Structure 1
Amino acid sequence: MNVLLTGTFVSSLGDKSAALAFALYAASMGSTALMAAILLAQLLPSLVLGLIGGYLTDRYGNPLWWSAALVVQALCFAALSQVDTVWPIVSLIAASSAAQSIVGPMGSVLLRELSPVERRGRSVRRRTSLDGMAGVIGLMLAGLSYSWLNRSTLLLVNSASFLVLVLCSLVALRGSVRRPRFRGSARARPERWTGFGVLLRPEVFGRQGVFLIFVVILGTSLEGVVGIFYLQHGLGLGNTWYSVAIASWSLGLLLGSLRVPVDRASDAGGRLLGASACVMGAVIAAPTLLPLTGGSVALAFLIGGAANGAFNASVAVVIAERASSETQGRAWAAFAFLAKLAILLGYASGAAAGMDHARALMFAAGAVPVLIGLGHVLTRSRPAPAQTPEVSVREGSST
């Protein structure tokens, strides 16, 4: 299991480096259309194929399929390092995203199944923390090295990181006493085909919890588009303080994910989820109401990032511990679908509204999660008891 987490961390570093490489490349070309096309190529395959991938994971899943998809992604990014025109770039990104969407849930399920029952929540939290750490380190290293490594080299590094994850996954499977297979009862009920029924169960998130998750991701995505315009043009933050504020949020993501009480999954699915949404929303809305300085914005963003990290880790822990083994693939796929849809709507809304409405949109992006999160805290102050622990699919120590 530790080997698999190490591979996941290395792959996340590569992903962050590639994301920054594409952003800087699009900026150097002066092409907002290229950046928009790249984002769509990343999101649309997930919306179209992600739910199918969750079903296939539960019904026919084999962890080796995931390794094969990672090899496809490595080949796509190796090819991306050699092309400079728009449509080949967009097509290869879409192909990589499609491969990840079809078998992506298997990665989350594999980590869960390779962990002992009593450590599943802790393993998922560690993965979330490592993703946050990769966000801080990967963006910093990529930003510092872009000028002398160039885009092609960073994309090759990302390609290599996929191969590292393939190797780690194979080592983890070889070291396990029994190779996991994710065959469940995907045919059980039609309403569970997509996994939304799993997320909507009261003991998982319930309808209000699913709505809260969607609203929070929509709000943070909207802030990601309009925030830079308001903070720099409305509040007067310079490039340096804006960069510090963004770095503070990323650091907070890492710190917040480390504080999720994995031994209290019920609370993580109820009060903690709502409370972290309230804090996150308040931080996003605060600059639109108060005359904050650069230092105070950075401090607020550190707190907001910590709440964001706790929120993300809480969602992951609840899915891992409360969704049954038979529905894990569909549950992760349904969550990914909601997240990608919210991100797409947030980006589209921010881009359509433009800079003139940046302050109003940033306020709404923060205020709505505060209201929904407060309601979630009040209505789920006594969350449902957690599931009876399942029998582990294997015996012996984790890798």
Structure 2
Amino acid sequence: MTRAGTRSDVKLAVLLLGMLVSACGDDVAAVAFSLRAAESGAPGLLAAILLARTVPAIGLGLLGGVLVDRALRWWWWPLSLAVQAALFLVMAGARSNALIVACVAVVSAVSAVTGPVASKLIALHSGDHQRIGGHLATVNGLSQACGAALGGIAFGVGGIGPLLCLNAGTFALLAVVALLVTGRSPVPVDASPQRGVLLGFRRLARPGAFGVVGLGLLVCTVFATSIEGVSGVFVLTHHAHWDPAWVGLAWGLWGLGAVLGGQGAGRLRRCPATVLLVLGAGGMGAVFLVLALGLPGVAIGAPLFLVGGAGNGAFNAAVSRTILAAVPLAEQARAWTAYRWIVTCCVVGGYLTGAAFGEHDAVAALALAGGLTLVGALCRTAPHT
């Protein structure tokens, strides 16, 4: 291995570690916001925070991809991370819910414009797209499991303030990582005449990437898992009569499964990404249907979360591998922002759908989620491009 290759591998490892720590901080903050809303008896606060996080991401995310691909400066990302750290410190000391919501909206807007830099840096330093796809899935799985556990424990000890300070610290750490990884060296930009915010969607819809039917599978899967995120809790606690502690254990097993599935997908050299997408989505859909139709007890149901998490990890690893391998480096930011724009819209739609079904019809909502995911997987197995 050349010295340049070794240096690139080190930068990539440092970047992934920084992203893991920051993602854990984000999940801790998400738990803190949820518990703050529950403690204060203000469900509207959680809805307002959800809107503050998603509306700027939907409105500015695609523009951020264009800016990063075509006009990136090395100092943008470190500076934006420092700004986000400062905003979380403001929220930690704020007593006004309105101020917290406003700060969340600004954080989301800043992240939407400059966040795609991380994806472009990963593509720049990635020499093995399959392995890196597995590592990215591991980052997601570990952050969900660790962030939720740490957030729940720490909130009971010190409330929301220390948790938001912790997240501010993770942003500051990632800002240092960003400086170390980027330095003052330029990141390749796109000087071609192909402009526009929709370029990322066209790249994802190419037959060499996901294809149109593959994007349909992506939409079905993210939408369905978002429905499950709302309805699954009601199914387990109110219909299957699980204790809340067992629900927490189940989600921990899901996170562990995501790590195992992501790492496994990163090592299956001869398995095409399309197969991993179908198997991952199908595995999650099957788990949702069994939970909805069987209402199993903890002894049977908890291991299913490990299976579903493994499918989730394999699916996420295949998504990352596909984008890294099928999209040119100069267009990576727009491809990733297009993907995240789709995900954000599906998450919002799934949450609203799960909320519309409510507690009493949660079983039907979970069955719908499982059916949608399986239908999407079956459609992708057809001979389409």
User: TM-score, normalising length from structure 2?
Assistant: 0.92
Question: 1:147: which partner in 2?
Answer: 156
The reply on whether 1:187 has 2:193 as its aligned counterpart is yes
User: In structure 2, how many angstroms separate the alpha carbons of the residues matched to 1:279 and 1:251?
Assistant: 15
Q: What number of residue pairs does the alignment pair up?
A: 374
2:204 is matched with 199
Per-residue CA shift, 1:203-232, capped at 9, x if unaligned?
000001111111101000011111111222
Please state how far the C-alpha of 1:266 moved relative to its aligned partner.
7.4
State the secondary structure of the residue aligned to 1:292. Answer: coil
CA distance in 1, matches of 2:109, 2:310: 31
Greater mean deviation of Cα atoms: 216-225 or 233-242: 233-242
Partner of 2:75, secondary structure, is helix
1:253-268 mapped onto 2 (5 Å cutoff): 253-261=258-266, 264=269, 267-268=272-273
Matching residue within 292, 295, 318 for 2:322: 318
Q: Secondary structure at the match of 2:193?
A: coil
Task: Name the CA shift for 1:267/1:63 in 2 (closer, same or farther; >3 Å).
Answer: farther
SS class of match (1:356) = coil
Residue 63 to residue 94, structure 1, CA distance change in 2 (3 Å): same
The offset of 1:291, in angstroms, is: 4.1
Distance 1:119 1:291, change over 3 A: closer
Letter paired with 2:187: R
Distance 1:286 1:295 in 2: 14
Question: 2:217 maps to which residue?
Answer: 212
- Conservation of the 8 A alpha-carbon contact between 2:133 and 2:316: no
Please show how residues 1-399 of structure 1 align to structure 2 within 5 Å.
1-115=12-126, 118-174=127-183, 179-185=185-191, 187-188=193-194, 193-261=198-266, 264=269, 267-268=272-273, 270-379=274-383
Q: Deviations over 1:321-357 (max 9, x none)?
A: 1111121111000000000000000111111222232
Once the two structures are TM-superposed, the CA of residue 303 in structure 1 deviates from its matched residue by 0.2
Q: Is the Cα contact below 8 Å between 2:135 and 2:266 reproduced in 1?
A: no
Per-residue CA deviation, residues 174-227 of structure 1 (Å, 9 max, x unaligned), is 4xxx8242311463165x744100000000000011111111010000111111
Shift of 1:143: 1.9
Contact 2:236 2:295 in 1 (8 A): no
Contact 1:186–1:326, Cα closer than 8 Å, also in 2: no
Change (3 A) 1:299 1:263: closer
Aligned residue for 2:107, secondary structure, equals helix
Shift of 1:265: 8.4
Please report the RMSD computed on the Cα atoms of aligned residues, expressed in angstroms.
1.9
Judging changes above 3 Å, is the alpha-carbon distance between structure 1 residues 85 and 189 closer, same or farther for their aligned structure 2 residues?
A: closer
Structure 1 residue 262, shift from structure 2 partner: 6.0
Aligned with 1:202: secondary structure? Answer: coil
Gaps of 5+ in 2: 1-11
Identity of aligned residues (%): 34
Maintained 8 Å contact 1:215/1:368: yes
**Shift of the alpha carbon at 1:367?**
1.0
Task: In structure 2, give the amino acid aligned to 1:179.
Answer: S
Distance 1:344 1:112 in 2: 28
Gaps (5+ residues) in structure 1? 384-399
Output the CA distance in 2 between the equivalents of 1:324 and 1:264: 21
* 8 Å Cα contact 2:130-2:266 kept in structure 1: no
Structure 1 match to 2:3: none
TM-score (structure 1 length as normaliser): 0.89
Check whether the contact 1:110–1:180 (CA below 8 A) recurs between aligned residues: no
Q: 1:7 to 1:189 in 2, by over 3 A?
A: closer
Look up the equivalent residue of 1:122 and give its one-letter code.
R
Mark the CA change 1:62 to 1:264 in structure 2 (over 3 Å): closer, same or farther.
farther
Do the aligned partners of 1:187 and 1:193 also contact (CA within 8 Å) in 2? no
Separation in structure 2 between the aligned mates of residue 129 and residue 37 of structure 1, nearest angstrom = 30
The 8 Å contact of residues 265 and 317 in structure 1, kept in 2 or not, is answered as: no
| Change beyond 3 A, Cα 1:263–1:235 | closer
Conserved 8 A contact 2:85-2:169: yes
CA contact 1:186–1:327 (8 Å) conserved in 2: no
